[in-house]
Amino acid sequence: MPSFDIISEVNKHELANAVDQANREVETRFDFKGTNSKFELLDNKIILTTQSEFQLQQMTAVLRNKLAKRGVDTRVMKEGEVQTSLNHAKLEIEIQQGIKQEFAKKITKMIKDSKLKVQASIQGEQIRVTGKKKDDLQEVIAFLRKAELELPLQFENFRD
């Protein structure tokens, strides 16, 4: 029976390159001179540190721009709370990897409500969709691409 998997992953190499490029831009920009502003990539978190909340907003814009240029969807960014002290501001941005259980349930419900003749099952942090015809599976992919979801999805392991 034909099947494919729905996943949501970020290319870690492209993510690291985008963070490095953002660091280089912040180091060379005149408005960031002497502020010790930097981006730090730790596993699935990017930590932004600078002097003020306004500069954090500018750094976030720089990071989004660099991620978009590297082909990383910015919907994977989940911003935390801004932590400020006297002359220091810090922001943690979580990079979401995989499909969380609640979101997976929402996707499977959307697939079932679409009345296509396929079955969707949650398998950890991915969703497997199976059907009798390859055309039905391609319709599901087209349907999910049109749907405006808060997480970018990739489709892999398409088997006949």
pLDDT tens-digit readout, 32-46: 888 889 999 998 899
Q: How high is the pLDDT of residue 86? A: 83
Q: What angle do CA 67, 69, 72 make, to 5 degrees?
A: 45
d(CA 33, CA 26): 8
pLDDT over 80 at 160, yes or no: no
**Does residue 103 share a domain with residue 91?**
no
Structural domain for 89, as ranges:
12-95
Instruction: Choose one of 48, 65, 95: the last residue of a domain.
Output: 95
Angle between helices 134-146 and 101-113 (to 10 degrees): 120
**Does residue 81 share a domain with residue 104?**
no
Average pLDDT over residues 64-86: 90
**Does residue 73 share a domain with residue 108?**
no
Q: How high is the pLDDT of residue 95? A: 92
**Does residue 85 share a domain with residue 18?**
yes
Q: Say which range, 18-22, 61-65, 114-118, has the weakest mean pLDDT.
A: 114-118
**Does residue 141 share a domain with residue 126?**
yes
Average pLDDT over residues 106-128: 88
Number of domains forming the structure of the chain: 2
Average pLDDT over residues 129-147: 88
d(CA 96, CA 10): 8
In the structure encoding, which two tokens stand for residue 133, read together?
């015809």
Chain centroid, CA 153 distance in Å: 9
* Eight-class DSSP state of 33: T
Instruction: Choose one of 95, 126, 147: the last residue of a domain.
Output: 95
**Does residue 131 share a domain with residue 81?**
no
- Residue 35: give its domain's CATH number: 3.30.70.990
